[in-house]
C-alpha cells in the first residue's frame, strides 16, 4: 500500500495498492475505521488477484470529491510563516527522538 506511485513502481514491488491520498495516509483516512478496513481488504485481495509481477491496482477510495487537496497538501507557498515554524519545531523534535533511539540501540 502506498501513495507515492512513481517511487513505489520504480522500486519494482511485486504487488502495489495505490491510494491517491496525501502521503502518510495510504492505509486509509485517519480515524476512519471503515476506510482503513476497506483499504486493508483491497490490499489482501490483491495477493490473490495479481496476474503477475509488478501489478499495481488503484484503490477505489477517494480522499475528496474535489481534487484541490493535491494543490493544498504540504504546499509551503500556502502556509504562514508561523505555521511553517510550528511544523519545523515538531519535525526537529521527532528527529531528536529518533537520534536518541539510534544512540541507545
Query: Percent of the chain, pLDDT > 70?
Result: 100
Contact predicate 69/22, CB 8 Å: yes
Q: What are phi and psi of 22, to 5 degrees?
A: -60, 145
Contacts of 23 (CB under 8 A, 6+ apart): 3, 4, 73, 74
pLDDT per residue as tens digits for the range 13-47: 899 999 999 988 989 999 999 999 999 999 999 98
Torsion sign (Cα): 99, 103, 104, 105: positive
Distance CA 60, CA 43 (A): 11
- Decide if 1 contacts 17 (C-beta within 8 A): yes
* Summary mean pLDDT of the chain: 91
User: What's the predicted TM-score (pTM) here?
Assistant: 0.68
Q: Does the pLDDT of residue 74 top 80, yes or no? A: no
User: Locate cell 477510495: which residue?
Assistant: 61
Which pLDDT band, with edges at 50, 70 and 90, does 52 fall under?
confident
Amino acid at each position: 500500500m502506498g501513495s507515492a506511485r512513481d517511487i513505489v513502481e520504480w522500486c519494482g514491488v511485486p504487488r502495489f495498492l495505490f491510494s491517491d491520498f496525501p502521503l502518510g495516509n495510504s492505509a486509509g483516512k485517519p480515524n476512519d475505521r471503515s476506510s482503513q478496513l476497506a483499504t486493508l481488504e483491497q490490499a489482501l485481495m490483491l495477493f490473490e488477484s495479481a496476474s503477475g509481477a509488478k501489478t499495481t491496482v488503484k484503490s477505489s477510495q477517494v480522499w475528496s470529491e474535489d481534487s484541490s487537496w493535491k494543490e493544498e497538501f504540504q504546499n509551503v507557498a500556502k502556509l504562514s510563516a508561523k505555521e511553517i515554524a510550528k511544523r519545523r519545531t515538531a519535525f526537529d523534535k521527532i528527529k531528536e527522538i529518533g537520534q536518541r533511539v539510534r544512540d541507545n540501540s
